[in-house]
Structure 1
Amino acid sequence: MAHQKREVTSNGDEGWASKRPKGVDTAAEKDHILKSDASQETNGEKGQMGDACRKEGTVLANTCASDEKAATNSNASSEQEVILTCIEADAAEDKGCRHTMEDAWVLLPDASMESPGNLRCAHFAIYDGHGGRLAAEYAQKHLHQNVIAAGLPRFRKTDEFLLQESTKGNWQDGATAVCVWVLGQTVVVANAGDAKAVLARSTSTDGEGVVEGTKSQLKAIVLTREHKAIFPQERARIQKAGGSVGPNGRLQGRIEVSRALGDRQFKKVGLIATPDVHSFELTKKDQFIILGCDGLWGVFGPGDAVEFVQNQLKETSSATLAVRRLVKEAVRERRCKDNCTAVLIVFKH
């Protein structure tokens, strides 16, 4: 599926480009990190996401529910529940100082339009390629199709098919991933590698007027867990699989992440594609989610990024402009050296 994007270029020009898309946390920000469950292996990963997948509900991005329907649903809701009427989302990317762009991204406001069945959802993702962009592009094209066909998440199945293709084509590259599905009022987040999803949640008691109110405060909640070979839990699993972590903290001394799609040469020494999965129910306090590759989070802390986006939304009321300016700030002002890609998902309550 071809996606169109607005691209932020290194020279500051903001124009249109076609698809072919490729942390430093403060102590206060770490307090806001939302701990996910342990990684879901095989049947475990399938069960948690399958429950969310079966939830009834419709998410229509940029197509607001009728006032009558919203009022009816609102009367039936509890105090903490809220009817999600709109999602506004966009993506931006810049290759930074790299010669090529190896990231890919997905914006599917209605993610079931091309699939049979009754599942209606929205899907957003970033696939951060390394050593090339073939794995990222493969995941961009196939992962959600596998999800629709067989249930959430399908990182492992997608990885199996990707490895078959990479063997045929002698691909050596891989891609980390961060994905979000919005199913009715349920948000499901899955990640493998070091890309992050960060939720902006109001700290006010009523949650009203968060983006537009001048006195509103948002906290940053990290919805994902990084997977790096140097981390004790990941290191132990790698060593058990017969791999090693070098003095530089890299798997076999070469690759920093411990989970990714592709990278077939590392799959026998501990690198896996199993994601961490987390889900939660939206309330009116939840304002937006930022998805970013490690390039973005190398120059932005979670709280810093949330504050920056909040200010842009107050000024422009536009997810498109906010995400473009976020990437421009990362590359031009904060000197991000890596590919930099971000997806901004704004919830309209």
Structure 2
Amino acid sequence: MMSGSFLSGTMNEVSNGTTHHKREGNLVDEDSVSKKSKVSSLVTESAEKPGGNPDCCVSERSQTVLDEIDSKKCNNFQKEVSKEEVKEDQIHDHSISSEDKIFIEADVAEDKGSRHTMEDAWVLLPEAGLEFPGKLRCAHFAIYDGHGGRSAADYARHHLHLNVLSAGLPRELMDIKAAKKAILEGFRRTDEGLLQESATGGWQDGATAVCVWLLGQTVLVANIGDAKAVLARSSSANEDGTSCTLKSIVITREHKAIFPQERARIQKAGGSIGSNGRLQGRLEVSRAFGDRQFKKVGVIATPDIQSFELTEREHFMILGCDGLWGVFGPSDAVDFVDKQLKDGLSVTAVSRRLVREAVRERRCKDNCTAIVIVFRRNK
């Protein structure tokens, strides 16, 4: 497990090409792609830009993200980061002046690609602390990329965030160390519960994950497997408030069995890497929720956790499953989203266009899910 403060990074490009699948299996090519762009029942849908291309509009389906949370309290999706009280012993200064208030806009789109079924699941919670209220602003976003089925992804979607909250995610004063400890414990509890349920239910599928928690002005990103988070950050901010050229920064680190550090850990646990680079010749990723049959040979659900502070330089984030990043490089995706936002499109329209571009134009054949999170400043 690598846990550290994420302050800067390089543009780690992902090569475009055919998506690799976590478990071996046959794909079925389909001439027509059935696309679903989903808006959580916990958020208010953003609208397409008036006069925009009607082809950008796709059918919508609401999804209850967490059954335990009262959706009536979360109708307004564009939320203001609340002003925090600061004490001398606080680890980070999270006070936000009236000039520095940050608003969050986010939405998600998905497409099953050429697969027969959709095995991805997602979470959009702009107000993510309702069960554990506190002074500290809390939002949560996540993508769970299932393989071998959807049961593991759905279980994680319903349990991870509540497990992280109950494990002590800070709700009053920001404490980076306590936040990362709560996330680690939340992942452990979720995987433990998932393995018990899968044994009872007789299923063995797994799920990778990329998750974001926004606490005050601190962003924490946790991942297992090959789902990624990419940050769009400008090199500096001009005096008039306009930004310079955006850089794409890959916040997450992939966990694949073929990578040296993961390979060594797997071999120490008694597992082996086949000539195809897969664990036991079958599983491509080395960290995931579930995958009960591979847990004794090195698969773990311990995430890498990174953190950074929101400033005027951070513009937006893109979360995506490996289907998206198999056909989009990080810089390419940032440029695509930036252009759409500058054209005045809503976050809903941008997320739809990003996924449609991946599947229909770049021929992503895997399930494809993307969340776009935009940070707006109060001018």
Instruction: Settle same-fold status: TM greater than 0.5.
Output: yes
Report the equivalent of 1:86.
103
State the TM-score, normalized to the length of structure 2: 0.72
Deviation, 1:318, is: 1.3
Aligned: 1:221 with 2:249? yes
User: Is the 1:84–1:347 Cα contact (8 Å) retained in structure 2?
Assistant: no
Cα offsets for 1:28-54 (capped at 9, x unmatched): xxxxxxxxxxxxxxxxxxxxxxxxxxx
Matches within 5 A, 1:194-205: 194-205=226-237
Paired AA for residue 204 in structure 1:
S
User: How far apart, CA to CA, are the structure 2 residues paired with 1:111 and 1:197?
Assistant: 19
**Deviation of 1:120 (Å):** 3.6
Give 1:291's aligned amino acid: L
CA RMSD of aligned residues (A): 2.6
Q: What does residue range 86-105 of structure 1 map to in structure 2 within 5 Å?
A: 86-105=103-122
Matched, 1:301 2:329: yes
Question: Which amino acid is 1:62 matched to?
Answer: Q
**Which amino acid letter does the alignment assign opposite residue 60 of structure 2?**
W
Query: Which residue does the alignment assign to 1:63?
Result: 79
Task: Read off the aligned partner of 1:209 and give its amino acid letter.
Answer: T
Name whichever structure is richer in helix by fraction: 1
Contact 1:243/1:252, CA 8 A, preserved across alignment: yes
1:54 alignment counterpart = none
Contact 1:292 1:343 in 2 (8 A): yes
Which structure 1 segments of 5+ residues have no match?
A: 22-59, 71-75, 211-215
Which runs of structure 2 are paired with 1:162-177 in the superposition (5 Å)?
162-177=194-209
Q: Which runs of 5+ in 2 are unaligned?
A: 1-38, 46-54, 66-75, 85-92, 169-181
Please give the secondary structure, in 2, of the residue aligned with 1:18. strand
1:209 aligns with 2:242: yes
Tell me by how many angstroms 1:206 deviates.
3.0
Distance in structure 1 (CA, Å) of the matches to 2:147 and 2:164: 24
In the alignment of these two chains, the number of paired residues is 293
Match of residue 155 from structure 1: 187
1:107 counterpart = 2:124? yes
Q: Establish whether residue 139 from structure 1 lines up as the match of residue 174 from structure 2.
A: no
TM-score (structure 1 length as normaliser): 0.78
What is the CA deviation profile of residues 59-104 of structure 1, one whole-angstrom value per residue up to 9, with x for unaligned ones? x9513469xx79xxxxx9999xx83421000000000000000000
User: Are the counterparts in 2 of residues 230 and 245 from structure 1 also a CA contact under 8 Å?
Assistant: yes
Give the distance between the partners of 1:209 and 1:98, measured in 2 at CA. Answer: 42
Residues 78 and 84 of structure 1, relative CA distance in 2, 3 Å threshold: closer
AA matched with 1:17: R
Q: Secondary structure at the match of 2:261?
A: helix
Write the letter of the residue equivalent to 2:40: H
Sequence identity percentage: 68
- Distance change >3 Å, CA 335–CA 12, structure 1 → 2: farther
Report whether the alignment pairs 1:123 with 2:140: yes
Distance 1:230 1:186, change over 3 A: same
Secondary structure, counterpart of 1:265 in structure 2: helix
Report what 2:62 is aligned to. Answer: 18
